[in-house]
Structure 1
Protein backbone atom coordinates (compact mmCIF):
# COMPACT_ATOMS: atom_id res chain seq x y z
CA UNK A 1 0.00 0.00 0.00
CA UNK A 2 1.47 3.35 -1.04
CA UNK A 3 1.56 6.39 1.24
CA UNK A 4 -1.01 8.07 -1.02
CA UNK A 5 -3.42 5.14 -0.73
CA UNK A 6 -2.98 4.97 3.05
CA UNK A 7 -3.75 8.69 3.24
CA UNK A 8 -6.97 8.22 1.24
CA UNK A 9 -8.03 5.22 3.31
CA UNK A 10 -7.44 7.16 6.52
CA UNK A 11 -9.33 10.20 5.20
CA UNK A 12 -12.25 7.96 4.22
CA UNK A 13 -12.42 6.45 7.71
CA UNK A 14 -12.25 9.87 9.36
CA UNK A 15 -15.09 11.08 7.12
CA UNK A 16 -17.24 8.06 8.02
CA UNK A 17 -16.81 8.92 11.69
CA UNK A 18 -17.43 12.60 10.96
CA UNK A 19 -20.80 11.81 9.36
CA UNK A 20 -22.07 10.50 12.67
CA UNK A 21 -20.39 13.28 14.63
CA UNK A 22 -22.07 15.87 12.42
CA UNK A 23 -25.45 14.24 13.00
CA UNK A 24 -26.06 13.41 9.33
CA UNK A 25 -25.83 9.65 9.77
CA UNK A 26 -26.35 6.96 12.39
CA UNK A 27 -24.60 3.64 12.85
CA UNK A 28 -23.21 2.17 9.64
CA UNK A 29 -26.12 3.29 7.44
CA UNK A 30 -24.03 5.59 5.25
CA UNK A 31 -21.04 4.88 3.04
CA UNK A 32 -18.23 6.75 1.30
CA UNK A 33 -16.07 6.15 -1.76
CA UNK A 34 -13.13 7.92 -3.38
CA UNK A 35 -11.51 7.51 -6.77
CA UNK A 36 -8.10 5.79 -6.64
CA UNK A 37 -5.88 4.29 -9.32
CA UNK A 38 -7.83 2.16 -11.80
CA UNK A 39 -10.90 2.02 -9.59
CA UNK A 40 -12.03 3.33 -6.23
CA UNK A 41 -11.84 2.81 -2.49
CA UNK A 42 -15.08 2.27 -0.59
CA UNK A 43 -16.14 1.77 3.02
CA UNK A 44 -16.92 -1.85 3.96
CA UNK A 45 -20.32 -3.21 4.85
CA UNK A 46 -21.37 -3.70 8.45
CA UNK A 47 -18.22 -2.66 10.32
CA UNK A 48 -18.81 0.01 12.99
CA UNK A 49 -16.98 3.20 12.11
CA UNK A 50 -15.10 3.31 15.38
CA UNK A 51 -13.68 -0.13 14.57
CA UNK A 52 -12.57 0.72 11.03
CA UNK A 53 -8.90 0.38 10.16
CA UNK A 54 -7.22 1.25 6.83
CA UNK A 55 -7.09 -2.42 5.81
CA UNK A 56 -10.90 -2.65 6.12
CA UNK A 57 -11.40 -0.12 3.31
CA UNK A 58 -12.09 -2.06 0.12
CA UNK A 59 -10.27 -1.37 -3.15
CA UNK A 60 -12.63 -2.10 -6.03
CA UNK A 61 -12.05 -2.21 -9.77
CA UNK A 62 -14.51 -0.82 -12.30
CA UNK A 63 -15.58 -4.40 -13.14
CA UNK A 64 -16.66 -4.80 -9.47
CA UNK A 65 -13.85 -7.20 -8.60
CA UNK A 66 -11.91 -6.76 -5.36
CA UNK A 67 -9.33 -8.60 -3.33
CA UNK A 68 -9.43 -9.78 0.27
CA UNK A 69 -12.24 -11.09 2.45
CA UNK A 70 -13.73 -7.76 3.56
CA UNK A 71 -16.95 -7.07 1.64
CA UNK A 72 -17.61 -3.60 0.21
CA UNK A 73 -20.67 -1.52 1.02
CA UNK A 74 -23.85 -2.98 -0.45
CA UNK A 75 -24.24 0.34 -2.31
CA UNK A 76 -21.03 -0.07 -4.33
CA UNK A 77 -22.99 -0.04 -7.60
CA UNK A 78 -24.10 3.58 -7.42
CA UNK A 79 -20.69 4.66 -6.12
CA UNK A 80 -19.02 2.99 -9.11
CA UNK A 81 -21.53 4.28 -11.65
CA UNK A 82 -21.37 7.87 -10.39
CA UNK A 83 -17.56 7.92 -10.49
CA UNK A 84 -17.53 6.35 -13.95
CA UNK A 85 -20.19 8.68 -15.36
CA UNK A 86 -18.73 11.84 -13.80
CA UNK A 87 -14.93 12.04 -14.23
CA UNK A 88 -14.88 15.51 -12.63
CA UNK A 89 -16.10 14.03 -9.33
CA UNK A 90 -13.70 12.08 -7.13
CA UNK A 91 -15.68 11.22 -4.00
CA UNK A 92 -19.21 10.12 -3.11
CA UNK A 93 -20.83 10.44 0.33
CA UNK A 94 -24.13 8.69 1.10
CA UNK A 95 -26.04 9.44 4.30
CA UNK A 96 -29.41 8.79 5.88
CA UNK A 97 -29.62 12.26 7.42
CA UNK A 98 -32.99 12.70 9.10
CA UNK A 99 -34.44 15.82 7.46
CA UNK A 100 -33.23 15.11 3.92
CA UNK A 101 -34.44 11.52 4.18
CA UNK A 102 -37.81 12.83 5.36
CA UNK A 103 -38.03 14.99 2.22
CA UNK A 104 -37.12 11.93 0.16
CA UNK A 105 -40.07 10.06 1.69
CA UNK A 106 -42.29 12.81 0.26
CA UNK A 107 -40.71 12.03 -3.12
CA UNK A 108 -40.07 15.70 -3.82
CA UNK A 109 -37.13 17.72 -5.02
CA UNK A 110 -35.59 20.44 -2.88
CA UNK A 111 -36.21 23.72 -4.76
CA UNK A 112 -34.13 26.90 -4.70
CA UNK A 113 -35.39 28.18 -1.34
CA UNK A 114 -31.88 29.41 -0.47
CA UNK A 115 -28.96 30.42 -2.66
CA UNK A 116 -26.74 27.74 -1.06
CA UNK A 117 -28.52 25.18 -3.22
CA UNK A 118 -26.06 26.25 -5.93
CA UNK A 119 -23.42 24.25 -4.06
CA UNK A 120 -25.15 21.18 -5.51
CA UNK A 121 -24.66 22.53 -9.04
CA UNK A 122 -28.08 23.83 -10.05
CA UNK A 123 -31.42 25.30 -9.02
CA UNK A 124 -32.76 22.13 -7.41
CA UNK A 125 -31.76 18.91 -5.73
CA UNK A 126 -33.67 16.15 -7.48
CA UNK A 127 -35.22 13.12 -5.82
CA UNK A 128 -34.58 9.83 -7.64
CA UNK A 129 -37.54 7.43 -7.66
CA UNK A 130 -37.47 4.53 -5.22
CA UNK A 131 -35.55 1.40 -6.09
CA UNK A 132 -34.32 -1.32 -3.76
CA UNK A 133 -31.02 -0.51 -2.06
CA UNK A 134 -27.88 -2.02 -3.54
CA UNK A 135 -29.43 -2.68 -6.95
CA UNK A 136 -28.36 -1.69 -10.44
CA UNK A 137 -31.80 -0.14 -10.90
CA UNK A 138 -31.09 2.27 -8.07
CA UNK A 139 -27.67 3.11 -9.51
CA UNK A 140 -29.29 3.91 -12.86
CA UNK A 141 -31.84 6.27 -11.30
CA UNK A 142 -29.20 7.99 -9.18
CA UNK A 143 -26.94 8.74 -12.14
CA UNK A 144 -29.96 10.26 -13.93
CA UNK A 145 -30.92 12.40 -10.91
CA UNK A 146 -27.33 13.68 -10.68
CA UNK A 147 -27.17 14.93 -14.28
CA UNK A 148 -25.85 18.49 -14.01
CA UNK A 149 -25.83 18.17 -10.21
CA UNK A 150 -23.52 17.11 -7.40
CA UNK A 151 -26.24 15.96 -4.99
CA UNK A 152 -29.58 14.18 -5.06
CA UNK A 153 -32.10 12.48 -2.82
CA UNK A 154 -33.25 8.87 -3.16
CA UNK A 155 -36.92 8.31 -2.43
CA UNK A 156 -37.54 6.55 0.91
CA UNK A 157 -33.78 6.16 1.34
CA UNK A 158 -31.43 9.10 1.81
CA UNK A 159 -28.88 11.47 0.30
CA UNK A 160 -25.99 11.32 -2.13
CA UNK A 161 -23.40 14.10 -2.35
CA UNK A 162 -20.42 13.95 -4.72
CA UNK A 163 -17.54 16.33 -5.22
CA UNK A 164 -13.87 16.70 -6.10
CA UNK A 165 -12.75 15.43 -2.67
CA UNK A 166 -14.11 13.57 0.34
CA UNK A 167 -14.08 16.78 2.38
CA UNK A 168 -16.07 18.72 -0.24
CA UNK A 169 -18.58 15.88 -0.65
CA UNK A 170 -19.07 15.66 3.12
CA UNK A 171 -19.59 19.42 3.36
CA UNK A 172 -22.16 19.23 0.56
CA UNK A 173 -24.05 16.47 2.40
CA UNK A 174 -24.30 18.85 5.37
CA UNK A 175 -25.64 21.60 3.09
CA UNK A 176 -28.30 19.23 1.70
CA UNK A 177 -29.44 18.47 5.25
CA UNK A 178 -29.63 22.20 6.05
CA UNK A 179 -31.73 22.86 2.94
CA UNK A 180 -34.05 19.96 3.78
CA UNK A 181 -34.46 21.35 7.32
CA UNK A 182 -35.43 24.73 5.89
CA UNK A 183 -37.89 23.17 3.46
CA UNK A 184 -39.65 21.13 6.14
CA UNK A 185 -39.91 24.23 8.34
CA UNK A 186 -41.55 26.17 5.48
CA UNK A 187 -43.99 23.55 4.16
CA UNK A 188 -46.58 23.95 6.97
CA UNK A 189 -47.04 27.51 5.70
CA UNK A 190 -47.56 26.37 2.10
CA UNK A 191 -45.32 26.10 -0.91
CA UNK A 192 -42.32 28.39 -0.32
CA UNK A 193 -41.19 31.06 -2.78
CA UNK A 194 -38.05 30.11 -4.69
CA UNK A 195 -35.22 31.89 -6.43
CA UNK A 196 -35.40 31.99 -10.22
CA UNK A 197 -33.10 30.11 -12.60
CA UNK A 198 -31.52 33.46 -13.51
CA UNK A 199 -30.85 34.30 -9.86
CA UNK A 200 -29.26 30.90 -9.21
CA UNK A 201 -27.20 31.24 -12.40
CA UNK A 202 -25.59 34.37 -10.91
CA UNK A 203 -24.85 32.48 -7.68
CA UNK A 204 -23.35 29.57 -9.63
CA UNK A 205 -21.01 32.00 -11.37
CA UNK A 206 -19.97 33.57 -8.07
CA UNK A 207 -19.37 30.15 -6.53
CA UNK A 208 -16.66 29.51 -9.13
CA UNK A 209 -14.42 31.98 -7.29
CA UNK A 210 -15.84 31.61 -3.77
CA UNK A 211 -13.46 30.75 -0.94
CA UNK A 212 -9.76 29.87 -1.20
CA UNK A 213 -8.59 29.33 -4.76
CA UNK A 214 -5.64 27.85 -6.62
CA UNK A 215 -2.77 30.25 -7.48
CA UNK A 216 -3.95 30.28 -11.10
CA UNK A 217 -7.47 31.40 -10.16
CA UNK A 218 -6.09 33.96 -7.70
CA UNK A 219 -3.96 35.46 -10.45
CA UNK A 220 -6.97 35.67 -12.77
CA UNK A 221 -9.01 37.42 -10.08
CA UNK A 222 -6.26 39.99 -9.57
CA UNK A 223 -6.20 40.80 -13.27
CA UNK A 224 -10.00 41.01 -13.40
CA UNK A 225 -10.22 43.46 -10.50
Structure 2
Protein backbone atom coordinates (compact mmCIF):
# COMPACT_ATOMS: atom_id res chain seq x y z
CA UNK A 1 0.00 0.00 0.00
CA UNK A 2 1.16 3.56 -0.63
CA UNK A 3 1.76 6.20 2.05
CA UNK A 4 -1.68 7.80 1.63
CA UNK A 5 -3.50 4.50 2.13
CA UNK A 6 -1.32 3.64 5.11
CA UNK A 7 -2.24 6.98 6.69
CA UNK A 8 -5.93 6.36 6.02
CA UNK A 9 -5.74 2.90 7.61
CA UNK A 10 -3.95 4.33 10.63
CA UNK A 11 -6.65 6.99 10.98
CA UNK A 12 -9.37 4.33 10.95
CA UNK A 13 -7.57 2.34 13.63
CA UNK A 14 -7.06 5.45 15.76
CA UNK A 15 -10.77 6.23 15.65
CA UNK A 16 -11.70 2.60 16.29
CA UNK A 17 -9.59 2.72 19.45
CA UNK A 18 -11.57 5.76 20.59
CA UNK A 19 -14.90 3.88 20.52
CA UNK A 20 -14.45 2.38 23.99
CA UNK A 21 -12.98 5.36 25.86
CA UNK A 22 -15.57 7.69 24.32
CA UNK A 23 -18.45 5.47 25.45
CA UNK A 24 -19.62 4.76 21.92
CA UNK A 25 -19.06 0.99 22.06
CA UNK A 26 -17.74 -1.69 24.39
CA UNK A 27 -15.40 -4.56 23.55
CA UNK A 28 -15.14 -5.29 19.85
CA UNK A 29 -18.61 -3.98 18.96
CA UNK A 30 -18.96 -1.18 16.45
CA UNK A 31 -17.21 -0.68 13.12
CA UNK A 32 -15.92 2.08 10.89
CA UNK A 33 -15.33 2.57 7.20
CA UNK A 34 -13.72 5.14 4.91
CA UNK A 35 -14.31 5.66 1.20
CA UNK A 36 -11.11 4.85 -0.64
CA UNK A 37 -9.98 4.56 -4.25
CA UNK A 38 -7.14 2.15 -4.96
CA UNK A 39 -5.48 2.15 -8.39
CA UNK A 40 -8.58 3.76 -9.90
CA UNK A 41 -10.96 1.26 -8.29
CA UNK A 42 -13.59 2.90 -6.05
CA UNK A 43 -14.03 1.13 -2.75
CA UNK A 44 -13.80 1.41 1.01
CA UNK A 45 -11.53 0.52 3.87
CA UNK A 46 -13.36 -1.18 6.75
CA UNK A 47 -12.48 -2.55 10.17
CA UNK A 48 -12.44 -6.35 10.54
CA UNK A 49 -14.89 -8.53 12.40
CA UNK A 50 -14.39 -9.43 16.07
CA UNK A 51 -10.85 -8.14 16.57
CA UNK A 52 -9.69 -6.26 19.67
CA UNK A 53 -9.08 -2.72 18.48
CA UNK A 54 -5.89 -2.50 20.55
CA UNK A 55 -4.45 -5.31 18.41
CA UNK A 56 -5.45 -3.86 15.05
CA UNK A 57 -2.70 -3.27 12.52
CA UNK A 58 -3.06 -1.38 9.22
CA UNK A 59 -2.89 -4.58 7.16
CA UNK A 60 -5.84 -6.04 9.09
CA UNK A 61 -8.33 -3.65 7.47
CA UNK A 62 -10.12 -4.94 4.40
CA UNK A 63 -10.36 -3.07 1.11
CA UNK A 64 -13.78 -3.69 -0.44
CA UNK A 65 -14.73 -2.79 -3.99
CA UNK A 66 -17.85 -0.62 -4.32
CA UNK A 67 -18.84 -2.22 -7.59
CA UNK A 68 -19.27 -5.81 -6.45
CA UNK A 69 -18.36 -6.02 -2.75
CA UNK A 70 -15.28 -8.16 -3.38
CA UNK A 71 -12.70 -7.68 -0.68
CA UNK A 72 -9.13 -8.46 0.11
CA UNK A 73 -7.16 -8.77 3.31
CA UNK A 74 -6.04 -11.31 5.87
CA UNK A 75 -9.14 -10.77 8.04
CA UNK A 76 -12.84 -10.74 7.22
CA UNK A 77 -14.48 -7.31 7.07
CA UNK A 78 -16.99 -6.35 9.74
CA UNK A 79 -20.20 -8.38 9.79
CA UNK A 80 -21.97 -5.07 9.05
CA UNK A 81 -20.03 -4.49 5.82
CA UNK A 82 -23.25 -4.55 3.83
CA UNK A 83 -24.74 -1.28 5.08
CA UNK A 84 -21.33 0.41 4.87
CA UNK A 85 -21.12 -0.64 1.22
CA UNK A 86 -24.72 0.29 0.39
CA UNK A 87 -24.56 3.69 2.10
CA UNK A 88 -21.38 4.62 0.25
CA UNK A 89 -22.88 3.44 -3.03
CA UNK A 90 -26.09 5.42 -2.52
CA UNK A 91 -24.61 8.57 -0.97
CA UNK A 92 -21.62 9.92 -2.92
CA UNK A 93 -21.22 12.81 -0.48
CA UNK A 94 -20.55 10.39 2.39
CA UNK A 95 -16.87 9.66 2.90
CA UNK A 96 -16.90 7.90 6.27
CA UNK A 97 -19.25 5.85 8.45
CA UNK A 98 -19.20 5.11 12.18
CA UNK A 99 -21.46 2.41 13.59
CA UNK A 100 -21.64 2.02 17.37
CA UNK A 101 -23.74 0.80 20.30
CA UNK A 102 -23.66 3.68 22.80
CA UNK A 103 -25.75 3.28 25.95
CA UNK A 104 -28.27 6.11 25.64
CA UNK A 105 -28.83 6.00 21.89
CA UNK A 106 -29.29 2.24 22.14
CA UNK A 107 -31.73 2.70 25.04
CA UNK A 108 -33.91 4.74 22.68
CA UNK A 109 -33.34 2.31 19.82
CA UNK A 110 -34.56 -0.68 21.83
CA UNK A 111 -37.80 1.25 22.35
CA UNK A 112 -37.76 2.01 18.61
CA UNK A 113 -38.07 5.71 19.35
CA UNK A 114 -36.62 8.48 17.18
CA UNK A 115 -34.97 11.58 18.57
CA UNK A 116 -37.41 14.46 18.01
CA UNK A 117 -36.54 18.16 17.86
CA UNK A 118 -36.32 18.60 21.64
CA UNK A 119 -33.00 20.46 21.13
CA UNK A 120 -31.83 22.47 18.14
CA UNK A 121 -28.65 20.36 17.90
CA UNK A 122 -30.76 17.50 16.54
CA UNK A 123 -30.34 19.38 13.26
CA UNK A 124 -26.69 18.29 13.26
CA UNK A 125 -27.98 15.02 11.80
CA UNK A 126 -29.38 16.89 8.80
CA UNK A 127 -33.12 17.12 9.51
CA UNK A 128 -35.91 17.89 11.93
CA UNK A 129 -35.39 14.63 13.79
CA UNK A 130 -33.12 11.60 14.00
CA UNK A 131 -35.06 8.60 12.77
CA UNK A 132 -34.96 5.06 14.09
CA UNK A 133 -34.63 2.46 11.35
CA UNK A 134 -36.93 -0.55 11.43
CA UNK A 135 -35.48 -3.70 12.97
CA UNK A 136 -33.76 -6.41 10.95
CA UNK A 137 -31.11 -9.00 11.82
CA UNK A 138 -27.59 -7.60 11.88
CA UNK A 139 -25.53 -7.99 8.73
CA UNK A 140 -28.53 -8.54 6.46
CA UNK A 141 -29.63 -6.83 3.26
CA UNK A 142 -32.90 -6.00 5.04
CA UNK A 143 -31.06 -4.07 7.75
CA UNK A 144 -29.09 -2.22 5.10
CA UNK A 145 -32.29 -1.22 3.27
CA UNK A 146 -33.87 -0.08 6.55
CA UNK A 147 -30.82 2.00 7.41
CA UNK A 148 -30.79 3.66 4.00
CA UNK A 149 -34.46 4.60 4.41
CA UNK A 150 -33.84 6.11 7.85
CA UNK A 151 -30.81 8.00 6.51
CA UNK A 152 -32.70 9.62 3.64
CA UNK A 153 -31.80 13.34 3.83
CA UNK A 154 -30.01 12.63 7.13
CA UNK A 155 -26.44 12.15 8.33
CA UNK A 156 -27.29 9.79 11.20
CA UNK A 157 -29.95 7.39 12.41
CA UNK A 158 -30.71 4.93 15.18
CA UNK A 159 -31.10 1.22 14.45
CA UNK A 160 -33.96 -0.51 16.27
CA UNK A 161 -32.73 -2.84 19.05
CA UNK A 162 -29.19 -2.24 17.89
CA UNK A 163 -27.37 1.12 17.99
CA UNK A 164 -26.60 4.03 15.69
CA UNK A 165 -25.02 4.98 12.37
CA UNK A 166 -23.30 8.32 11.78
CA UNK A 167 -21.90 9.48 8.46
CA UNK A 168 -19.70 12.36 7.43
CA UNK A 169 -17.63 13.97 4.71
CA UNK A 170 -14.62 13.26 6.95
CA UNK A 171 -13.88 10.46 9.36
CA UNK A 172 -13.55 12.92 12.24
CA UNK A 173 -16.91 14.48 11.33
CA UNK A 174 -18.67 11.10 11.37
CA UNK A 175 -17.11 10.26 14.75
CA UNK A 176 -18.08 13.61 16.26
CA UNK A 177 -21.63 13.21 14.97
CA UNK A 178 -21.88 9.81 16.66
CA UNK A 179 -20.78 11.46 19.91
CA UNK A 180 -23.35 14.22 19.39
CA UNK A 181 -26.19 11.77 18.80
CA UNK A 182 -25.26 9.88 21.97
CA UNK A 183 -25.16 13.13 23.99
CA UNK A 184 -28.56 14.14 22.61
CA UNK A 185 -30.00 10.72 23.43
CA UNK A 186 -28.80 11.06 27.02
CA UNK A 187 -30.31 14.54 27.32
CA UNK A 188 -33.62 13.38 25.86
CA UNK A 189 -33.86 10.41 28.21
CA UNK A 190 -33.15 12.70 31.18
CA UNK A 191 -35.81 15.13 29.96
CA UNK A 192 -38.33 12.29 29.63
CA UNK A 193 -37.48 11.07 33.13
CA UNK A 194 -38.05 14.48 34.69
CA UNK A 195 -40.96 15.86 32.69
CA UNK A 196 -42.29 16.38 29.17
CA UNK A 197 -39.78 17.78 26.67
CA UNK A 198 -41.02 20.71 24.57
CA UNK A 199 -40.51 19.92 20.89
CA UNK A 200 -39.35 22.73 18.61
CA UNK A 201 -41.75 23.48 15.73
CA UNK A 202 -40.88 22.56 12.15
CA UNK A 203 -40.41 26.16 11.02
CA UNK A 204 -37.82 26.76 13.75
CA UNK A 205 -35.94 23.59 12.84
CA UNK A 206 -35.99 24.65 9.18
CA UNK A 207 -34.36 27.98 10.13
CA UNK A 208 -31.73 26.12 12.15
CA UNK A 209 -31.00 23.75 9.28
CA UNK A 210 -30.35 26.74 7.00
CA UNK A 211 -28.13 28.34 9.65
CA UNK A 212 -26.14 25.12 10.06
CA UNK A 213 -25.40 25.06 6.33
CA UNK A 214 -23.90 28.54 6.58
CA UNK A 215 -21.85 27.58 9.65
CA UNK A 216 -20.40 24.68 7.66
CA UNK A 217 -19.20 26.89 4.80
CA UNK A 218 -15.77 27.72 6.23
CA UNK A 219 -14.97 24.07 6.94
CA UNK A 220 -16.10 23.03 3.46
CA UNK A 221 -13.84 25.61 1.84
CA UNK A 222 -10.89 24.71 4.06
CA UNK A 223 -10.50 21.13 2.82
CA UNK A 224 -12.15 19.75 -0.29
CA UNK A 225 -9.78 16.86 -1.06
CA UNK A 226 -11.03 13.33 -1.66
CA UNK A 227 -10.53 9.84 -0.24
CA UNK A 228 -12.30 10.56 3.02
CA UNK A 229 -10.46 13.80 3.76
CA UNK A 230 -13.22 16.25 2.80
CA UNK A 231 -14.87 18.70 5.18
CA UNK A 232 -17.74 17.90 7.52
CA UNK A 233 -21.22 18.40 6.15
CA UNK A 234 -22.11 20.98 8.77
CA UNK A 235 -20.93 22.64 11.92
CA UNK A 236 -22.92 24.20 14.69
CA UNK A 237 -22.62 27.13 17.07
Q: Same fold (TM over 0.5)?
A: yes
- Structure 1's consecutive aligned runs of 4 or more residues displaced over 3 angstroms after TM superposition are 214-217
Is residue 49–residue 76 contact of structure 2 (8 Å, CA) maintained in 1? yes
Aligned partners of 2:220, 2:90: CA distance in 1, in Å?
29
Cα offset for 1:204?
1.4
Cα offset for 1:68?
2.9
Aligned partners of 2:94, 2:122: CA distance in 1, in Å?
18
Of 38, 44, 48, the residue aligned with 1:44 is: 48
CA distance 1:216–1:7, shift in 2 (3 Å): closer
Of 52, 57, 60, the residue aligned with 1:53 is: 57
Aligned partners of 2:196, 2:141: CA distance in 1, in Å?
34
Aligned partners of 2:70, 2:60: CA distance in 1, in Å?
16
The count of aligned residue pairs is 217
Aligned partners of 1:215, 1:19: CA distance in 2, in Å?
26
Whether 2:163 is the aligned partner of 1:148: answer no
| Aligned-residue RMSD, C-alpha | 1.5
Which runs of 5 or more residues in structure 1 are unaligned? 218-225
Is residue 60–residue 74 contact of structure 2 (8 Å, CA) maintained in 1? no
Cα offset for 1:3?
1.4
TM-score, normalising length: structure 1? 0.92
List aligned pairs for 1:42-191, cutoff 5 A.
42-62=46-66, 63-191=68-196
Which SS does the other structure have where 2:218 is aligned?
A: coil
Cα offset for 1:191?
4.0
Which SS does the other structure have where 1:111 is aligned?
A: coil
Is residue 99–residue 165 contact of structure 2 (8 Å, CA) maintained in 1? yes
Aligned partners of 1:111, 1:212: CA distance in 2, in Å?
26
Aligned partners of 2:122, 2:73: CA distance in 1, in Å?
40
Cα offset for 1:216?
5.1
CA distance 1:214–1:137, shift in 2 (3 Å): closer
